[in-house]
Structure 1
């Protein structure tokens, strides 16, 4: 029984850091991009997959070029769609609505935004297409959705993981569908 290694990396610091960027296409900060490129140097992978959003895509392109590996841009690895909250500083939103969202993102999605189950569904579909050692450059929400799908954790459990900008989560996937976390670097 052979396993497959995947590495999930959160993009580095973007412009407009600290906001609910969701599907906003904020470009990466140069230092944040350099952190991602540097962290990737010690990893083994045959492919790079990135979200189509610039803050993940641009460092992913740089890493794939540096390592001379295939690059695939996949919008299923986007962050949760925060709908009307996209681009806002959380401090500028109604505290009670934001609290309800963090407590139960399935029952209380952002206005015109995405439910937690929809994020998990699209990330799960993206995961099923990975068949070789891969580095996925994505977003904290998508990484948490991957943990939920692969390890059977609920939203409260995955939100307990600290995934700052540039965080790296390594997993081993087994043919029977089970997964094992092999490393977390924040």
Structure 2
């Protein structure tokens, strides 16, 4: 984006919502587990703070789509907003014996470069999330997605390295809000907010 385009660009607010809980203490990436949407009070509080007239996006996985619908939203689904793909580790417990301990340690120590077998690295996740974010030059945008996707957006907005971004918690049904001012100019207003 040129300096002239930046000067005329309107800020784009991104309202990132993590889907409802799955209650799975596992590496649930592309595995399509349902969300528990029984916390009607949390959904109502979240619904009350969302902007009107926003573009609404969602991962194509059912836990994100059903959360969007429970919030009264009609999303456009985008598979690029799926959680990190854990490949051969999909739906395994973090300490499952099938997970090679040395590779797992490398994955968590250097997530940007290391990928699970047949899965994707943090940098690959960030690339697909950044592509979605670049396509939206007007806002606000509400995106119902997954913890890794929201952390990737936070990493993009702050230019934070992967390992640092992974230190943040993103709870189910939480809101993280970021504003894009054009180019590489962002502000982060909220992370993991539970209205």
TM-score under structure 2 length normalisation:
0.84
Aligned to 2:148: 141
Contact 1:11–1:32, Cα closer than 8 Å, also in 2: no
Look up the match of 2:188.
181
Alpha-carbon distance in 2 for matches of 1:114, 1:36: 31
**Which residue in 1 is equivalent to 2:92?**
88
Q: Does structure 2 conserve the Cα–Cα contact (< 8 Å) formed by 1:172 and 1:179?
A: yes
In structure 2, the partner of 1:106 is 112
Contact residue 30 and residue 84 of structure 2 kept, 8 A: yes
Partners in 1 of 2:21 and 2:84 — Cα distance?
Answer: 17
Distance 2:153 2:39 in 1: 22
Cα distance per residue 1:17-47 (max 9 Å; x no partner): 2111100000111226763454132121412
Q: Which runs of 5+ in 1 are unaligned?
A: none
SS of corresponding position for 2:20: coil
Higher-Rg member (1/2): 2
Shift of 1:57: 1.0
Deviates more, 1:136-145 or 1:39-48: 39-48
Q: Which runs of 5+ in 2 are unaligned?
A: 1-6
Structure 2 counterpart of 1:58, from 36, 51, 66 = 66
Q: 1:32 to 1:47 in 2, by over 3 A?
A: farther
My pick for the range that moved more, 20-29 or 175-184, is: 175-184
Tell me if the contact between 1:13 and 1:33 (Cα under 8 Å) persists in the aligned partners: no
Distance 1:117 1:36, change over 3 A: farther
Shift of 1:83: 0.0
| Runs of 4+ residues deviating >4 angstroms | none
Aligned match of 1:74: 78
- 2:46 aligned to 25, 32, 39, which one? 39
